[in-house]
Amino acid sequence: QEKFSPVKYFSIDRVFRNESLDATHLAEFHQVEGVVADRGLTLGHLMGILRQFFSKLGITQLRFKPAYNPYTEPSMEVFSYHEGLKKWVEVGNSGIFRP
C-alpha cells in the first residue's frame, strides 16, 4: 500500500546573480521557494496559493503569464503592477511538477 501525506515546504534565502543592474534587476536579492505536494492539485490551486502569498505581502495586483520552465508544466510567470515604475514587473515564477 502506498503511503502519502500532503506537505508544504518553503525556504527563504539571499541569492546573487551576475546580471546588468536596472530598476527591476539587482545583483543581490531574497528568493522564496516553495513546494506544495498533494494529489489532485491544479493550476487554479497554484494561482490561489500565489495570490494568497502575495496578498500577505500587500501585493494584490497580479497577472499570470504562461512561461517555459524545463522542470515544470504548466509554468507561469507572476507580474505585479509597480506604482513607482508605472509598469508591470515580474515578481515570481512558478509551475507544476508532474509525477
Mean pLDDT by 10 residues, the chain (99 residues): 87 87 80 91 94 94 96 95 93 89
Q: How far apart are CA 97 and CA 71, in angstroms?
A: 7
Res 63: pLDDT: 97
| C-alpha angle 9-74-89 in degrees, rounded to nearest 5 | 80
Res 1: pLDDT: 56
Residue 74 DSSP symbol: E
Q: What is the DSSP string of 15-31?
A: EE-----BTTB-SEEEE
Buried b (16+ CB within 10 A) or exposed e, 58-72: ebeebebeeeeeeeb
